[in-house]
Chains A and B, each alone.
Chain A
């Protein structure tokens, strides 16, 4: 690693001006937990990093209203983990946080960075996707809003332009919905997940009205499992319905092999854990 320029703009708009859509060696840095790994490995060698740490403080806070949470992109995962508002409006996020990486990472990594990195192994994106979160994106041409599920376009790929930044995440209140996230590791307990499954459902007891099922880590990107959602919608949960949902997700998922497991094995994990996540949500046992 050779010395590089570090810009520390005081505002989001200034930061956007410093980004160069045509120069891959200029990148924004938030918490830096992912970028530093890439820099250490030599796969990313920056000319200039645009630090977002000194932009307006409103991007580092959580505001709750009747329709949900607005979380500034620079809010650290640790702050989200400890937020009473988050616990009230979206308890599945709070429960997910304690299994996410480790306390050192959570105290530094930001929600905006976790989304913009496009890494399919993150725990938070599938949960936010299942909750139906939207993001506000700011670029030179102004602001736009995007459903989170439309952010991820491939393996470490997003639909963000190189000079766009995520400003805010809007998370609808969980309300009476039942939700669960299950992280499955095949190495140490604090390893990246081999599989993440997030489920958010409208349900009356065991009768499911609608469901959002998101699978991550085993797949090229966090992905809604629409066939599994269809298998659950309008059904009353029993072993057969659960099995159908698990099978549907297992058949649909685009799975990648890596050191954490082969494709056939991860397929079996999906089959089992979609089932378990739905059951956990129905039973009110949110996270694993």
Chain B
């Protein structure tokens, strides 16, 4: 504490200081406001009746009994919605998602009808009385099947028009493919044919959940003159655009207010409950709140399950000369942002390796399950799981040291990334070396004995930040000298308000703690593309820095105007008094940022400038495996990330430990169990996430200070990067310990035990 006070006194040194979170006190004392607990006068609660079949034509929906429940205000289906919104379809990539099921249902849990009441319990009870008849249709669940299946989730594809690479899918029929991304570099076929060693593996990941501790919630308050939405969203600007489109209104009649979020992890991006809440409020002519329960989260959005087929050709010296990646993304019933996950992760699917001949196909696929979207890594953790497992498997077969094999192939500063973009400020090898150093890799390792066998493994990964995207910020200096920042980055626990205030403080030479960060409200906070993909600290950071610099220059101009000498240190408040005769006036600085970018060439996907910055991480794990039960204990987990210059080192550390721990759950046991499209563990009683007792015995979290030369104050994003390597590091360690290779997540005790038995030639029977 003393240290913080001392640091705080050093005005002008705001960046690089572990400022305690500005909102921390409000949160721990229960004062912070969240949408999920918010009430608006006259508000109705909506509860949803959901589909029980995975794919079917709706023959009838009987709402008569529900309507008779005392206290029910209305029961609403798509027929009612259509009267207020004639084309009731929404989505960021495709306008494919109906506000309520329209003629068909496409996954178990899809909302079919909504009940409105002043009492949420009454609405809930009435929902139980609704019945629906479906004509069941064949369904497709698996992402690989979906590519060739004759079962089509959608009759016609309807791209939203936002993304150029989806235009060719307009009106496409008889397909489940919502994007086919490709990259071609060199000549894969020729190089692979000539390679001395050939490897081919398939990896799978399971369906898992974001599980924000504040479930999704939106309150819509519609009036003919304008609409206000209070919503737990990571992207207020996008919500405004999409709501305005649905209404056919100008954006200035749509107001989106976003308080703090109880986390998001990508699950609250783009548009979720907002369109439904809007429609219900238009019908009821009252404010309407839609707030999910934890159980309903299983039917809102999940991470993409993925099948990754990877082929590599290696020459006699251990150099990878050819790689083919075929990636199938299980997008669920509605595309959400799946096509962007497919493309943006697709371009780094071949990993942080320097390979001359690369072929990447990445497919976004519709299936009859809960939609998939971005989850802390935009697809990259699924890819790293595959390619870093693959790397170790090749090294093992070639009897090469896994470190030396990687060193022979890793991309280095100044070299070309697969896309032909020259790699800069991407410390791949240094991240790997730091992990190895922290793990004492060169020292002898205790492999255990008897029942408990020990092993260690690691991985290294790269991600390209989603590019190009735009952020705008405003800095307002009031006449008393106090400063407010207006920016649309949503603080959902990652500490962005604090970091942005530090940047303002750094430029204006004031304490970060004195900067007021205005709550997100599209009536006052300017445009931002969204709080996603670790983009905010870099993009919004630049905009904030520019806005603060603009304000600083305007203050200097004001000083000149009132006759102050150059370099005068006159207090700001006196400056305003001198100019306006009293405490009056404002200085407004603004900043906008959009990075340079060259779109990938059609056909090859190559570009000399494909991303604003690279994210790099490495992780290493030491494990103990119980060979009699398959239980894996993580003795040590080392996470190293290149996040540029840490603006707030303490918050950076918690982002690293938080990301790694989240991925640990996805790696070891989290799984949505599905049976014919039905989720069989849709509650927190049966879907478990890691707790304190699941954290590794030793966990080290390291931020490499690698100055990001084009970043604000040398910084770049850190929200996702620690998730990348956890899964393959652990799988590689398990292989090292007991000689079995798991290619499907999660690495739960039964999976490990079955692999051990299979290796011993005594496979365990199936059921």
Binding site for B on A (CB under 8 A): 1-3, 37, 40-42, 102, 184, 186-192, 257, 259, 261-265, 268-269, 272-273
Query: Chain A residues with Cβ under 8 A from B681's Cβ?
Result: 259
* Interface residue tally on B, bucketed by range: 20 to 34
Output the residue of B125, B128, B665, B688 with the most chain A CB within 10 A.
B688
Alpha-carbon separation in the docked complex, A268 to B691 (Å): 26
Tell me which of B629, B670, B766 contacts A262 (CB under 8 A).
Answer: B766
Contacts A265-B754, A268-B764 given; indicate if A189 touches B691 (C-beta within 8 A). yes
Q: Are B629 and A189 in contact (CB under 8 A)?
A: no
In the bound complex, residues from chain A placing their C-beta under 8 Å from that of B691 are 102, 188-190
- Would you give 11 A-B contacts (Cβ < 8 Å), ordered by A? A1-B125, A3-B121, A102-B691, A186-B669, A188-B665, A188-B669, A188-B689, A191-B688, A192-B685, A262-B767, A264-B766
Q: Output the residue of B293, B665, B765 with the most chain A CB within 10 A.
A: B765
Q: How far is it, in angstroms, between the C-alpha of A142 and the C-alpha of B214 when the chains are bound?
A: 48
A158 smallest CB distance to B (angstroms): 20
Query: Nearest 9 pairs between A and B by C-beta?
Result: A189-B693, A188-B688, A187-B688, A2-B125, A187-B669, A265-B750, A191-B688, A272-B628, A259-B681
In the complex, which of the residues A102, A261, A272 contacts B750, with contact meaning CB atoms closer than 8 Å?
A: A261
15 more CB-based (< 8 A) A-B contacts, given A37-B683, A264-B765 = A1-B121, A40-B293, A40-B295, A184-B629, A186-B669, A188-B693, A189-B694, A257-B767, A261-B749, A262-B766, A264-B766, A265-B753, A268-B629, A268-B764, A272-B628
B415 to chain A, nearest CB (A): 42
> Which of chain B's residues have a CB closer than 8 A to the CB of A273?
629
Say if the beta carbon of B680 comes within 8 Å of chain A. Answer: yes
List chain A residues, Cβ under 8 A from B628: 268, 272
A262 with B750: CB separation less than 8 A = yes
A182 to B125, CA, bound (A): 41
Q: Which chain A positions have C-beta within 8 A of B125?
A: 1-2
Do residues A186 and B764 form an inter-chain contact, with CB atoms below 8 A? no
- Taking a contact as CB atoms under 8 Å apart, the answer to whether A41 and B683 are in contact is yes
Are the C-beta atoms of A42 and B685 separated by less than 8 Å? Answer: no
Interface of A is mostly: loop
A102 to B125, CA, bound (A): 31
Q: How far is the CA of A195 from the CA of B593 in the complex (A)?
A: 56
Cβ-neighbour of B685 out of A37, A102, A262, A263 (below 8 A): A37
A190-B683 contact, Cβ under 8 Å, with A1-B124, A3-B121, A265-B753: no
Bound Cα distance A273, B451 (Å)? 13
Other-chain residue from B128, B669, B670, B753 in contact with A268 (beta carbon distance below 8 A): B753
CB B746 to nearest CB in A, in angstroms, measures 9
- B673 adjacent to A264 (CB under 8 Å): no
Least CB distance, A70 to chain B, in whole angstroms: 32
- The answer to whether residues A259 and B690 also contact, given A264-B766, A268-B629 and a CB cut-off of 8 A, is no
Q: Is the CB of B748 within 8 A of A186?
A: yes
Decide: B693 and A186 in contact? CB cutoff 8 A. Answer: no
Interface membership of B686, Cβ < 8 A: yes
A265 — nearest CB in chain B belongs to which residue?
Answer: B750
Bound-state Cα–Cα, A88 to B549, Å: 70
In the complex, residue of chain B having the shortest beta-carbon distance to the beta carbon of A272: B628
B715 / chain A contacts, CB cutoff of 8 Å: none
The answer to whether B764 and A265 have CB atoms under 8 Å apart is yes
With A188-B688, A188-B691, A265-B750 as known contacts, state yes or no: A259 contacts B673, CB within 8 Å: yes
User: A188–B748 Cα gap in the complex (Å)?
Assistant: 10
Question: Chain B interface mostly helix, strand, loop or mixed?
Answer: loop
Q: Which residues of B contact A184 (CB under 8 A)?
A: 629
Please give, as numbers and ranges, the residues of chain B lying within 8 Å of A2 by CB-CB distance: 121-122, 124-125
A259 to chain B: which residues have CB within 8 Å? 671, 673, 680-681, 686
Complex interface bits, B750-763 against A, C-beta within 8 A gives 1, otherwise 0: 10011000000000
Residue of A nearest to B125 (CB): A2
Which residues 647-696 of B have a CB within 8 angstroms of A? 665, 669-671, 673, 680-681, 683, 685-686, 688-691, 693-694
Q: Is B686 touching A264 in the complex (CB atoms < 8 A)?
A: no
Which residues of chain B are near A188, meaning CB under 8 Å? 665, 669, 688-691, 693-694
Chain B, residues 283-317, CB within 8 Å of chain A (1/0): the string is: 00000000001010000000000000000000000
With a cutoff of 8 Å between Cβ atoms, the chain B residues found around residue A191 in the complex are 669, 688
CB distance from B766 to the nearest CB of A (A): 7
Known contacts A1-B125, A190-B693, A259-B681; is A41 also within 8 Å of B295 by CB? yes
- Note all chain B residues with C-beta closer than 8 A to A262: 750, 766-767
Evaluate whether A186 and B694 lie within 8 angstroms (CB atoms) in the complex, with A259-B681, A268-B629 already known.
no
When distances are taken between beta carbons in the complex, the residues of chain A under 8 Å from B766 are 262, 264
Which of B673, B685, B693, B750 neighbours the largest number of chain A CB atoms within 10 Å of its CB?
B750
Residues on the B chain within 8 Å of A265, using CB: 749-750, 753-754, 764
Assembly CA distance A273 to B626 (angstroms): 12
Shortest CB distance B263–A (Å): 18
Considering the chains assembled together, what is the distance between the CA atoms of A221 and B397 in angstroms?
47
For the complex, give the distance between the alpha carbons of A37 and B295 in Å.
11
Chain A residues with CB under 8 A of B754: 265
CA of A273 to CA of B628, assembled, Å: 10
Q: Tell me the residues in window 123-146 of chain B with beta carbons closer than 8 Å to chain A beta carbons.
A: 124-125, 128
In Å, the complex CA distance between A266 and B673 comes to 18
User: Which B residue sits closest to A186, measured CB to CB?
Assistant: B749
Q: How far is the CA of A184 from the CA of B631 in the complex (A)?
A: 10
Q: CB-CB < 8 A to A3: which residues of B?
A: 121
Chain B residue at minimal CB-CB distance from A263: B767
Interface string of B207-224 (1 = CB under 8 A from A): 000000000000000000
A186 cross-chain contacts in B, Cβ below 8 A:
669, 748-750
- Bound-state CA distance A262–B681 (Å) is 15
Chain A residues near B124 (CB, 8 Å)? 1-2
Docked complex: B234-269 residues within 8 A CB-CB of A: none
Q: How far is the CB of A130 from chain B (nearest CB, A)?
A: 21
Residues of A within 8 A of B764 (CB): 264-265, 268
Q: In chain A, what residue has the closest Cβ to B451?
A: A272
Q: How far is the CB of A217 from chain B (nearest CB, A)?
A: 13
CA distance A263 to B748 in the complex (A): 15
| A182→B668 CA distance, assembly (Å) | 21
**Contact (A269, B767) CB under 8 Å given A40-B293, A189-B693:** no
Closest to A189 in B: B693
**Most B C-beta atoms less than 10 A away, residue of A3, A37, A191:** A191
Which residues of chain B have C-beta atoms less than 8 A from A268's C-beta? Answer: 628-629, 753, 764
Q: Which residues of A contact B765 (CB under 8 A)?
A: 264
Q: Which residues of A contact B694 (CB under 8 A)?
A: 188-189
**Least CB distance, B741 to chain A, in whole angstroms:** 19
Q: Among residues 53 to 107 in chain B, which have CB atoms less than 8 Å away from a CB atom of chain A?
A: none
Shortest Cβ distance from residue A263 to the other chain B in the assembled complex, whole angstroms: 6
Chain B residues closer than 8 Å to A189, beta-carbon distance: 691, 693-694
Bound-state Cα–Cα, A263 to B764, Å: 10
Give min CB distance, A186 to chain B, whole Å.
5
Collect the chain B residues with CB atoms within 8 Å of residue A42's CB.
128
| A-side contacts of B690, CB under 8 Å | 188
Min CB gap B45→A, angstroms: 13
Give the chain A neighbours of B686 by CB distance below 8 A. 259
